[in-house]
Chains A and B, each alone.
Chain A
Amino acid sequence: MDITQESGKETRPQWDNKIQYLLTCIGFAVGVGNLWRFPYLCQIYGGGAFLIPYLIALVFEGLPLLYLELAIGQRMRLGSTGVWYSISPLLGGVGIASMIVSFLVSLFYNTLLAWILWYFFHSFQDPLPWSTCPLNQNRTGFNEECEKSTSVNYFWYRETLNITTNIETSGTIQWTVVLCLASAWCIVYICFIKGIQSMGKAVYVTATFPYLVLTIFLIRALTLPGAVDGIKYLFTPEWEILMNPQVWLDAATQIFFSLSVAFGGLIAFSSYTEEKNNCERDALLVGIINSATSLYGSIPIFSILGFKATSAYNLCKDRNILALTNHFDFPDQNITRDNYDYWIDHFNQTHPDSISGLNLRPCDLQAFLKQSASGTGLAFIVFTEAVIEMPGSQIWAVLFFIMLFSLGLSSMFGNIQGVLTPISDLKMLPKWIPDELVTGLLCIVSFLVALIFALGSGNYWLEVFNAYVGSVPLLIIAFFELVGVIYVRGMKRFSDDILFMTGKRPNIFWKACWMVISPLMLLAVLIAYVVLQAAKRPTYPSWDPSYESFPDTKTLEYPDWVFAIIILLCVVPIVSIPIVALHRLIRGGIRRSSPRSELSAYSNGGFDADHPESYNQKPV
């Protein structure tokens, strides 16, 4: 560990080298969302055309925010709580909000990793367990629930989750999920056991391995039949879609959440780097690599989806061909996939009644391509189904789930760091407790709280957390971050900071973005988001085998008490901002004589050698 002693401050851990720091930031930004959310958005918003709002959002919203966080963390050399406190004690709540959000997100994010581990463990079997249905009780046929839906759906909903019919029925704790959850938290712990020293080593693997696997998948996927159809479908631009404001909103939110700003993790990471580091270049690198990864990853994903659509299409055709051949007693293989259309037309003219009696399912490739899924649906249902058809399924399944796991693990690093750094900066725990114990305690507490996701209704709760914790609070935090740095600290002072760190002032583009464009965009996104969410009562899809049109999911409304919890999840992180501000105001009003009594040990404003004028600065 490289210990540097700076101007009277305590030893702060440091990265071994620049590559570790960059890889950690990239790993934090590039997560499972890049693989399973971005291609989905591309698909539903007409492929190539979606890239335009996406790139605009990246340039005007994502990169400026990223640059700001990396710069402020590197300059202040503190975690998120310390940074905002130093800028203004009234803003101290922003750091606490970041910490709470990081904690809540790490809870459900690690549950995703637990499920990925479960699938990974099950990929070592031949045949893959999700490829066949289990037999029913008396061995005469397959399990009913599995027959009606597919074996892949059954494996996900029944054997993995054992999901209940709605969010109110909690069901029992699934011990298998608990085991996987424990493994996931143990793996996170072992990577964090020595703080960033061990995490920095782990990140060499977790940040680079996904790219290797993506390349392997790319080569394999492009050789599959139907891959080209998938890619064509993905990238065919539908320019009319740009008129829809929802597209712009989704592009902006996707960029924002994809870069993992406002979690506090990026500030923590950059606080461990050296003072004179070109953070502008780092921000550009991280932002561009993040978007490039999304694009690069969507190609194999969609090749495989195209392959799956083609397989389903061929299966549909074969089923119809068999029905026709059997009904009309044609010789075997007279009707093939190629002349199927000719024969269908022929029969429709000559024997329309018998054709309709056969109940032939219409086979349309475009309809199969349109079947899109995002999130867990993409990884655990669509992709696993595609993998069954590929020769050598076990290898592809193993590779895929390892890749997802490392993507998620490197993002977990940022989340956990966003909780650990404030804990150590705020000195919430006594000094004699070693860091390993703090990390261990955090992992154990998180594991115990995350047991709610191991219940039968766990997946419903995860969707609640995913939709509400990681959305509105982050937008609000980011807005306060921008305002705090640019207006409270001051653009001039921030420019001086950047001059000190990188050797040149930020150019007009950055200034324009920070002062005007990004806050406006953030505000617009926040308002649009809240309005759209509040417009309708939130609903969720539930898996109910007794539903009439099962296997379609039944749409249920959230009950009132869950709605109250949703409001709590949105409000609790944010509420720390006004509470801390009020607290400081009251405190500052009562004790005007000693305004510096609350300053942290790291930044005693009176002895800031780089900014001698701060000696006279008043904290308010």
Chain B
Amino acid sequence: MLEKLLILLFASNVLAQVCMPDAPEAYKVRLSIKTALGDQAYTWNDNELYLFRATLAFAMRNYLSGQLFDVSNILVCNETERVSFWFMVKSVTNPTTLIEKQHVENAIKESRHRINSAFLLTDQTLEFLGILPTLASPFVPATPPWLIAFGVVMGVVGAGIVYFLVAAVVQRKRKKTLDEEEEAKGATENEIAGENLDGIYNTSFSDDEKVTEM
């Protein structure tokens, strides 16, 4: 009875140490290196995988401060040509248990940018299936830029309107005073013309009316 229990315990321990796809604590990772880097793409090999495990350990260390995760704590399996694989994280304090998904997810979310940069990839080309990238909140400037453009245009237009209206009023006033002056002048000219008997050039008809009927 006791031996059976011992065997069961031992078996579950061993099982717990083996990385399996679709395990409750496992995440799938997918890399699209050629899409991201084109000609500059590096080939995926064991060294790159080692770097990946190292960066994951780094992320776990940052998240669970105090616990010193190592490359050996990151289990990887089911590598494909796609460059995709599954990984699980072994706990430091208790090597037989695995870190829960939620903690792994939080750790990765915190250090996502560093992990991406280590591989020269982005959120879309280095995918952790199930961990959505936190959306960058759009940059909202203090004054909406469109109001600035609007203000500039309206300022110019408004200034133009005021200028033209004022100019029109001024012009009208000037014309009125000029008309009054001409009237006054015209009256005296007539008297002078009457005395001078200027028959050749009648100054009363000094506006160029060149069109005469018939």
Instruction: Give A residues with C-beta under 8 Å from B.
Output: 5-8, 117-118, 120-122, 124-125, 132, 134-135, 139-142, 179-180, 183, 186-187, 189-190, 193-194, 198, 325-326, 329-333, 434, 436, 607, 609
Contact = CB atoms under 8 A, between A and B. Distances in A.
Nearest to A141: B135
A124 B150 contact: no
A182 to B, nearest CB: 8
B168 A194 contact: yes
Given A122-B146, A179-B150, A187-B157, A332 B83 contact: yes
B175 to A, nearest CB: 12
A332 B81 CA distance: 8
17 contacts: A5-B210, A5-B211, A121-B149, A122-B145, A122-B146, A125-B146, A132-B138, A139-B137, A183-B154, A183-B157, A186-B158, A187-B153, A193-B165, A193-B168, A194-B164, A329-B84, A331-B81
Contacts of B138: 132, 134-135
B149 A124 contact: yes
B110 to A, nearest CB: 17
B31 interface: yes
Q: Interface size for chain B: under 10, 10 to 19, 20 to 34, or 35 or more residues?
A: 35 or more
B181 interface: no
Given A121-B146, A326-B30, A329-B81, A7 B213 contact: yes
A190 B82 CA distance: 64
A208 to B, nearest CB: 20
B33 interface: yes
A186 B154 contact: yes
A330 B82 CA distance: 5
Contacts of A120: 149
B117 interface: no
B158 A332 contact: no
Nearest to A189: B161
B32 A332 contact: yes
Contacts of A189: 161
B182 to A, nearest CB: 17
Contacts of A142: 135
B87 to A, nearest CB: 16
A189 B80 CA distance: 69
Given A189-B161, A193-B161, A331-B34, 4 more contacts: A139-B135, A325-B82, A332-B82, A436-B168
B160 interface: yes
Given A7-B211, A135-B135, A330 B81 contact: yes
Looking at A121, A140, A330, A609, which has the most chain B CB atoms within 10 Å of its CB? A121
Interface in B198-214: 209-211, 213-214
Contacts of B148: 124
A142 B150 CA distance: 28
Given A331-B82, A332-B35, A8 B160 contact: no
B114 interface: no
A325 B31 CA distance: 11
A408 to B, nearest CB: 15
Contacts of B149: 120-121, 124
Given A183-B153, A436-B165, A609 B146 contact: no
B172 interface: yes
Contacts of A609: 213-214
A190 B135 CA distance: 46
A496 to B, nearest CB: 20
B124 to A, nearest CB: 10
Contacts of B34: 331-333
Interface string B19-37: 0000000000011111100
Nearest to B172: A434
Contact of A5 (B81, B150, B160, B209): B209
Give the top 8 A-B pairs by smallest Cβ distance, nearest first: A333-B34, A121-B146, A329-B82, A329-B80, A121-B149, A332-B34, A331-B81, A193-B164
Given A193-B161, A329-B82, A125 B145 contact: yes
Given A121-B149, A141-B135, A326 B157 contact: no
Contacts of A325: 82
A186 B157 CA distance: 7
Contacts of A6: 211
Contacts of A122: 145-146
Interface string B106-147: 000000000000000000000000000001011000000111
Contacts of B147: 121
A436 B214 CA distance: 37
Nearest to B150: A121
A333 B38 CA distance: 9
